[in-house]
Structure 1
């Protein structure tokens, strides 16, 4: 797969499709981000589908994307702290979640740090030395492969088989869209994604936010730069529920939709509802039913009612916390 996902390295990019059953061991946050970026470059509509991609039809990964069966699967054995750092916000975490959902990445927990990251296939394997340690031989922000040891695959393959799967707390964009669209409608799902795309930095929602790499190979602001990565899980829940209130969705329907979308349980969104009511940003309107208790329809108040854009919606709920 000549145009498949690759890692930046010297003397040339390491294309994952060139390895048979590859395993990546102990990637730091920067290397893990580079893996996701490589897949995103090869299959953008799979890793980070736009609203247009998603509204074009469920399961459509984009006309220009490779067939999912052609995308190489990478086994990743990573430390929990590295994964947490690399998935600090919704945008970065949802990209990795999309790869896990598509079986392009199998993510498991490494029990102990290794001397260096390792990338190994059935026929070859080597350590990956970051450019800051490899000297002038490697380009800034890349990695330098060291060694050629086919036994690495067997050694780490057995450890991978015994390791526990890593449970990502953040869903993919596709799951968010489809979960909310099924319970509410596509316009609500699209509005939720647009709110989740708003960054807290310069106020832009550009597709490249958070992907710039500086001369040291790190993203500006460090791995915890949630302004570029998108909202943290709590802020993402607040944004999603606020959008549902802006759209006048039934309270119970919205809580179930957010559960289907993988954003949290109905009880979690009962708490989010309480927070937004305490901030005087939402209210409920009772709708009598022929039989049974009235249903509660959400309605925005104050700054949330006045918000007309995703950025204004996010600004209205930015300070909503416990």
Structure 2
């Protein structure tokens, strides 16, 4: 255990790193807010050997996680590695808690700092752990419905090359926004714009997106239509031997064609905001 006494840090990330960096075995995390869930996922993702963490919190918090593609895909990576499992319950949460084999830590945020208040009374810790273990067993498993980040990156590289994967990753990171605000671009729009930057076929990128679990081909088609209507992309028909011609995606605005990946995401977001898309 990395902390065994009350600790005050400047952020949740610092506190959770203190708690989990040298923690083996299993830990329960209970009643976390959206901000704490985000910090927990980022800390666990950075650890070479994270503990196995059971996260139980309100369903609304985990549903909000689904809407943040990069964070959700990081969580999916941890779930796939059996370092994280997610459940919800209707049981009320009095406090945000981290429960390990020997300690219980209450997570108490303030305006500028966050405290970890530690109890190592064996009988008390065992009683709290037993309570939440029973709640966990009766809880509902939560599915992220988001592909793991490595799956997305590896499949992009395989299907379209390392350059497009790098641009997709840079754009996803560029559109990340502070919690509580809405990004101008989502993961499907980023995928279509990255494909247009590299002049890929709509059929190919939408098939990839459906296969990997980003979104359905119908969703990709709707996004393509919207971006084309707003002038962000253009399409060229490519004849094939059998069937209707397929569409090659191209960037439709000079400002987008001249931008690198990070700038492209920013400019595209501004254009969409201006046009009210």
Same fold (TM over 0.5): yes
Looking at structure 1, the residues matched to 142 and 80 of structure 2 have their Cα atoms a distance apart, in angstroms, of 13
1:37 lines up with 2:10 in the alignment: no
1:218-237 equivalences in 2 (<5 Å): 223-225=179-181, 231=183, 235-237=186-188
More helix by share: 2
Looking at structure 1, the residues matched to 198 and 233 of structure 2 have their Cα atoms a distance apart, in angstroms, of 11
User: How big is each residue's C-alpha offset from its partner over 1:281-316, in whole Å with a ceiling of 9 and x where there is no partner?
Assistant: 222222222333322222221246523301332134
Describe the shift of the 1:116–1:311 C-alpha distance in structure 2 as closer, same or farther (beyond 3 A): same
Looking at structure 2, the residues matched to 21 and 302 of structure 1 have their Cα atoms a distance apart, in angstroms, of 51
Which position in structure 2 is the counterpart of 1:166? 142
1:151 lines up with 2:163 in the alignment: no
Which position in structure 2 is the counterpart of 1:64? none
User: How big is each residue's C-alpha offset from its partner over 1:43-97, in whole Å with a ceiling of 9 and x where there is no partner?
Assistant: 3xxxxxxxxxxxxxxxxxxxxxxxxxx4321111111233355676334333323
Q: CA deviation at 1:180?
A: 2.2
1:265 lines up with 2:270 in the alignment: no
Query: Secondary structure of the residue that 1:83 maps to in structure 2?
Result: helix
Describe the shift of the 1:8–1:289 C-alpha distance in structure 2 as closer, same or farther (beyond 3 A): farther
Query: Secondary structure of the residue that 1:145 maps to in structure 2?
Result: strand
Q: Is the 8 A contact 2:233 2:250 kept in 1?
A: yes
Describe the shift of the 1:16–1:286 C-alpha distance in structure 2 as closer, same or farther (beyond 3 A): same
Which position in structure 2 is the counterpart of 1:299? 250
Which position in structure 2 is the counterpart of 1:289? 240
Looking at structure 1, the residues matched to 22 and 137 of structure 2 have their Cα atoms a distance apart, in angstroms, of 21
Q: CA deviation at 1:161?
A: 2.5
Which position in structure 2 is the counterpart of 1:308? 259
1:195 lines up with 2:171 in the alignment: yes
1:79 lines up with 2:55 in the alignment: no
Alignment size in residue pairs: 262
Which position in structure 2 is the counterpart of 1:14? 19
Q: CA deviation at 1:182?
A: 3.1
Looking at structure 1, the residues matched to 211 and 236 of structure 2 have their Cα atoms a distance apart, in angstroms, of 24
1:249 lines up with 2:200 in the alignment: yes
Query: Secondary structure of the residue that 1:196 maps to in structure 2?
Result: helix
Q: CA deviation at 1:192?
A: 0.9
Where does the alignment leave 5 or more consecutive residues of structure 2 unmatched? 9-14
Looking at structure 2, the residues matched to 128 and 253 of structure 1 have their Cα atoms a distance apart, in angstroms, of 49
More strand by share: 2
Which position in structure 2 is the counterpart of 1:97? 76
1:126 lines up with 2:104 in the alignment: yes
Q: CA deviation at 1:181?
A: 2.6
Describe the shift of the 1:314–1:38 C-alpha distance in structure 2 as closer, same or farther (beyond 3 A): closer
Looking at structure 2, the residues matched to 8 and 224 of structure 1 have their Cα atoms a distance apart, in angstroms, of 33
1:175 lines up with 2:148 in the alignment: no
Query: Secondary structure of the residue that 2:125 maps to in structure 1?
Result: coil
Q: CA deviation at 1:19?
A: 6.0
Query: Secondary structure of the residue that 1:27 maps to in structure 2?
Result: coil
Describe the shift of the 1:37–1:184 C-alpha distance in structure 2 as closer, same or farther (beyond 3 A): closer
Describe the shift of the 1:142–1:93 C-alpha distance in structure 2 as closer, same or farther (beyond 3 A): farther
Q: Is the 8 A contact 2:170 2:261 kept in 1?
A: yes
Query: Secondary structure of the residue that 1:308 maps to in structure 2?
Result: coil
Looking at structure 2, the residues matched to 269 and 34 of structure 1 have their Cα atoms a distance apart, in angstroms, of 31
Q: CA deviation at 1:244?
A: 0.4
Looking at structure 2, the residues matched to 177 and 81 of structure 1 have their Cα atoms a distance apart, in angstroms, of 28
